[in-house]
Amino acid sequence: MKAHVTAHARYVVAEIDNRLYGSFLEHLGRAVYTGIYEPDHPTADQNGMRRDVIDLVRELDTPICRYPGGNFVSAYNWEDGIGPKEERPTRLDLAWHTSESNQVGIHEFADWAKSTNIEMMLAVNLGSRGLDAARNFVEYVNHPGGSYWSDLRKKNGRADPWDVRLWCLGNEMDGPWQVGHKSAAEYGHLANETAKALRAFDDKLELIVCGSSHSDMATYPQWEATVLDSTYDQVDYISLHMYFENYEKNAAEYLALPKKLDRYIGTVGGVIDYIKAKRRAKNDVKISFDEWNVWYHQRKNDAKRVKEWGWPHAPALLEDIYNFEDVLQVGCILNTFIRRSDLVRIACIAQLVNVIAPIMTVPGGPAWRQTIYYPFQLASRHGRGTALHLDIDCPAYDADIAAGVEYLDIAGVHDSDTGTLNFFAVNRNGSEPMEIEISIEGFGAAKSVAHTLIKHDDLEATNTENNPENVKPAKAKGAKLSGGKLSVSVPAHSYSMISV
C-alpha cells in the first residue's frame, strides 16, 4: 500500500500551544495515594512524594496538570486539604464511593507540580458548592497577602502565591452522574457569575467552562450553545471530554473513532462561531479537551465493584492495562489534536498515574511505563512548534463511524527553532505495510532522517510490572531522503515518528 503526503512551509494550521500535551490527576483510586504520594515508599522525598514517579512524569514532559478532579471535585471542600495534616478530616467521596483522607491538598500538589516541572490547572467545585467557595480558593492560591485567605496560606507555610492561570469552572456539569448536576441554563448562569467574580479578582485568569462530557450526550450540542450564550464574554475555553472503547475487539472500527473526535471538535467549533456571531462578540473562545484517553479495559468491572464495596481509601480503581493497539489509538488521537490545534489549544490525557494512566505503580514497589506512555511522550517532546496542514493521498476504508477512513493517520509539526520537521504516522492497516512518500517543500534542504518505530506483532501486548518493556519505541532503518522527498516504509499496524 502506498501513501503520498505533501508538507509545505506555507500550509500551516497554527502555532501549537504546548498545553496540548497536558495531563490530569484526580483524587480517585490510587492516582494520588500510592500513585504520586507514598511517604513510606523507598524513593519518597521529604514531602512523601515518590521520586520514581516524579522521574517518569518529568520524562513525559507534560507541561500542565489538571487537579483535583474530575467527578471528585463536584463534592470537594478544598479547605479540607490545608493546615496540619493530623487535623484534616476524612470525608466520604460521593463520586467514587471511597474515603478521602485529605493528606494531599493544594500545598502538597503544588510542591509536587514544582518538582515535575508542571504548571497547575485547577478546578473549582460548582456541583455541591458555588461562587463563594470558588472565589475563596482563588484568593488562597493567588493573592500575595493581607487578606483572610492569603494570610491563612502564609500561616500554612506558603509565603508566595502560586499564581495559577488556568481555572476550570466545575466538571462535566451536563452529566446526571455529577454531584450537583445542572441544566445548561442553570449551569450557564452559575458559571458566568463565578467567572465574573474571579475576573473581578484578576481579569487575566484563563477560565474554562464545561462543555459536553461526550458527544453522545442527549443534550449535546445544545448544551454548548446555551452555556456559551450565558458565558461567552467571560470565558476563554470550553471543555470537552471523550474516552475511547473497543469492547467489540474490532481494530478497524476502533481506530476509526478519532474521526468521531474530529467531528466533535468541528461541531463545537461551529457552535462557538455561531454564539460569537450571535453576541457580536470580539473575543475568541477555544477548546480545552481536558479529558481524553482509552477507557474500557476495566470499566464494566469497576462499575460493579464500586456498587459493592464500602468506603475504602485509595482502592485500585480504573486501572486499565493498555495494550499495543492502544498505542495506535493514542497516536491517532494526538494527531487529531495537532491537526485541530487552531481550535484545541489545551488537552489533558486522563489521567497520569494508576487511573487510566500512562504510569503505573506498585505500592511499596516499582513504577513502570504503560504502552501508551510512548506515543504521548514522543508527541509531547517533539510535537511542539507549528502544526502543518498536510496534503494526504492514500487508500481508505469505510467504518461504521465514518466513511473514507485513511489507512494512514499522519500529523506534521515544524520546530522553527531547531529546523526539525516531525511526522507522527499510524498505519491503521493490519495486513499490509505502507510505503509513505513525503514531499517536503519550502523548508530548505533536509540533511538527515530518523525513524522511531513502535511495533508489536500482538495487538494485545502489554507492559506489566514483570515485563515493563514489552512494547516500546526502537530506532528503525531504511528511511531515505532524496531530492526533497522522504520515503519510509512502515509495518502493518504500527506507530512511527519520522524526523528530518
Q: Point out the residues that are catalytic.
A: 172, 291
Among all residues, whose Cβ is closest to ligand AHR? 70
- DSSP code of residue 71: G
Rounded Cα gap, residues 333 and 143, in angstroms: 38
Q: How big is the site for ligand AHR, counted in residues (CB under 6 A)? A: 10
Closest to 169 in 3D by CA, of 228, 231, 237, 123: 123
Closest distance between ligand AHR and the C-beta of residue 459, in Å?
Answer: 24
Closest distance between ligand AHR and the C-beta of residue 172, in Å?
Answer: 5
Give the residue with the Cβ less far from ligand AHR, 298 or 489: 298
Rounded Cα gap, residues 24 and 376, in angstroms: 13
Give the residue with the Cβ less far from ligand AHR, 291 or 409: 291
Closest to 422 in 3D by CA, of 351, 467, 488: 488
Give the residue with the Cβ less far from ligand AHR, 24 or 112: 24
Site for ligand AHR in 461-500 (CB under 6 A): none
Give the residue with the Cβ less far from ligand AHR, 358 or 385: 358
Sign, CA torsion 246/248/254/259:
negative
**Whether the Cβ atoms of residue 355 and residue 28 lie closer than 8 Å to each other:** yes
Report the residue from 16, 255, 338, 350 that binds ligand AHR according to the rule CB under 6 A. 350
**Whether the Cβ atoms of residue 133 and residue 124 lie closer than 8 Å to each other:** yes
Rounded Cα gap, residues 288 and 301, in angstroms: 30
**Whether the Cβ atoms of residue 72 and residue 95 lie closer than 8 Å to each other:** yes
Closest distance between ligand AHR and the C-beta of residue 241, in Å?
Answer: 6
Cis upstream peptide for 484 (omega within 30°):
no
Closest distance between ligand AHR and the C-beta of residue 210, in Å?
Answer: 10
* 486 membership: H or E segment, kind and range: strand 485-490
Binding mask 197-236 for ligand AHR (x = CB under 6 A): ----------------x-----------------------
Taking CB under 6 A as the rule, does residue 139 contact ligand AHR? no
Give the residue with the Cβ less far from ligand AHR, 100 or 291: 291
Closest distance between ligand AHR and the C-beta of residue 357, in Å?
Answer: 10
- The grid coordinates of residue 487 equal 520515503
Rounded Cα gap, residues 272 and 228, in angstroms: 7
Taking CB under 6 A as the rule, does residue 351 contact ligand AHR? yes
Give the residue with the Cβ less far from ligand AHR, 70 or 188: 70
State the distance between the two ends of the chain, measured CA to CA, in whole angstroms.
Answer: 23
Give the residue with the Cβ less far from ligand AHR, 177 or 309: 177
Residue 465: CB atoms within 10 A of its CB come to: 12
Rounded Cα gap, residues 191 and 210, in angstroms: 9
CA distance readout (Å), 88 to 80, 105, 470: 6, 10, 42
Report the residue from 22, 48, 68, 70 that binds ligand AHR according to the rule CB under 6 A. 70
Report the residue from 23, 62, 71, 239 that binds ligand AHR according to the rule CB under 6 A. 71
Q: Mark 34-62 as b/e (b = at least 16 C-beta within 10 Å).
A: bbbbbeebeeeeeebbbebbbebbeebbb
Closest distance between ligand AHR and the C-beta of residue 346, in Å?
Answer: 15
Give the residue with the Cβ less far from ligand AHR, 361 or 427: 361
Closest to 455 in 3D by CA, of 479, 491, 422: 491
- Residue 223 CA, chain-centre distance (Å), reads 22
Give the residue with the Cβ less far from ligand AHR, 171 or 226: 171
Give the residue with the Cβ less far from ligand AHR, 243 or 274: 243
Binding mask 26-45 for ligand AHR (x = CB under 6 A): x-------------------
Cis upstream peptide for 221 (omega within 30°):
yes
* 331 membership: H or E segment, kind and range: helix 324-339
Taking CB under 6 A as the rule, does residue 291 contact ligand AHR? yes
- Residue 42 CA, chain-centre distance (Å), reads 29
Taking CB under 6 A as the rule, does residue 68 contact ligand AHR? no
Which one of the spans 63-71, 134-142, 148-156, 257-265 is the region binding ligand AHR (CB under 6 A)? 63-71
Which one of the spans 65-73, 76-84, 139-147, 475-483 is the region binding ligand AHR (CB under 6 A)? 65-73
Closest distance between ligand AHR and the C-beta of residue 414, in Å?
Answer: 33
Residue with cell 495531563: 23
Taking CB under 6 A as the rule, does residue 93 contact ligand AHR? no
Closest distance between ligand AHR and the C-beta of residue 181, in Å?
Answer: 12
Rounded Cα gap, residues 92 and 101, in angstroms: 9
Closest distance between ligand AHR and the C-beta of residue 313, in Å?
Answer: 17
Residue with cell 471542600: 77
Site for ligand AHR in 161-190 (CB under 6 A): 171-172
Closest distance between ligand AHR and the C-beta of residue 79, in Å?
Answer: 21
Instruction: Note the residues at the interface with ligand AHR (CB under 6 A).
Output: 26, 69-71, 171-172, 213, 291, 350-351
